[in-house]
Amino acid sequence: MAVLAPQIDIFILYLATERGLSDAYQLSVRRTLETLADWAREQKFATWQDLGIDSLREFLAQLKKKGLEASSLRIAVVHIKIFFRFLAGRSLIEDDPAEPLLSPRTGSHLPETLHESQIVRLLESIDPSRALGRRDLAILELFYSSGLRLAEICSARLETLDLEDGFLRVTGKGNKTRIVPVGGRARSALESYLANERPKLVRRHTSSEIFLSVRGGPLGPDRVRKIVKERAHQAGIKQNIYPHLLRHSFATHLLQNGADLRVIQELLGHADIATTQIYTHVDDQLLRKVHRQFHPRA
């Protein structure tokens, strides 16, 4: 692995310094690439340039044969694709052999989503005139409007919100900052909450987090999860509802309505588009379902 290792080190340094990705993500990538390097050495490959698409597919097939689950294989594919894209971009290899590499389908492990009608039912079931109704409606509208992660909702602060232009600055994984749009319904819900309900929750110790508890402190992840579940239960939705499901629904509905995958990648804050491609698989399932249902010879 000695001949192959320096490029791995250079790439990990790039992830840390230029991309700002977490130590955990760097470690995960390193494990994948070192496993690939060990395999390449066994196959008598001297440099990364020697590996082609067939070699990479053979490596992934071996991982699958050893029992690696499809979800873990997908992660390995993402790591390999971004590594070889980096090498080609820095002219450390002539061509990117991983570019045509496809992620394995994960079958039943594809992300769950809500139908658009369920989203409407969930949001319209919340009465803003009831206690904490404005706050909870604003939380759920923002989840679905902007595709935020749970941690991003909890850490959102007043100074990062621009309601006039409809944008929110969030800090996601790896301390990576991005700007996300806030849709019209979410803007209205936030304006109502900030004007009529948040001031009543403020205490002397309150900081600038947007969403507050009844004690004036920032809402924690566990409390937000509970709010989402409680509101779904009140709406009569029997499906297991959790915050990330709203993020999945956000991305899937954008794709189904014609949004470009690169735009969705940017909105979600994914480091690599291969991660975002999971939603194309969800959409493929919908296409097959519609085909089976309506085609006369399906």
SS (HEC) of the chain: CCCCHHHHHHHHHHHHHCCCCCHHHHHHHHHHHHHHHHHHHHCCCCCHHHCCHHHHHHHHHHHHHCCCCHHHHHHHHHHHHHHHHHHHHCCCCCCCCCCCCCCCCCHHHCCCCCCHHHHHHHHHCCCCCCCCHHHHHHHHHHHHHHCCCHHHHHHCEHHHEECCCCEEEEECHHHCEEEEECCHHHHHHHHHHHHHCHHHHCCCCCCCECCECCCCCECCHHHHHHHHHHHHHHCCCCCCCCHHHHHHHHHHHHHHCCCCHHHHHHHHCCCCHHHHCHHHHHHHHHHHHHHHHHCCCC
Which residue in the list 198, 247, 248, 253 is annotated as catalytic? 247
**Per-residue pLDDT, 111:** 64
Q: Which residues does the chain have with pLDDT short of 70?
A: 1-3, 103-111, 280-298
Annotation marks residue 173 as catalytic: yes
Which residue in the list 149, 187, 248, 253 is annotated as catalytic? 149
Which residue in the list 173, 223, 225, 281 is annotated as catalytic? 173
The 10s digit of each residue's pLDDT in 252-289 is 888 888 888 888 888 888 877 777 777 766 655 655 65
Annotation marks residue 244 as catalytic: yes
> Does pTM surpass 0.75?
no
Domains, the chain, in order of start with CATH, read 5-107 (1.10.150.130), 116-288 (1.10.443.10)
| Distance of alpha carbon 71 from alpha carbon 103, whole angstroms | 9
Which residue in the list 19, 41, 157, 244 is annotated as catalytic? 244
**Per-residue pLDDT, 1:** 44
167 and 182 in contact (C-beta within 8 Å)? yes
**Per-residue pLDDT, 123:** 96
Which residue in the list 193, 198, 253, 279 is annotated as catalytic? 279
177 CB-near residues (< 8 Å, 6+ apart): 169, 170, 171
Annotation marks residue 270 as catalytic: yes
Annotation marks residue 279 as catalytic: yes
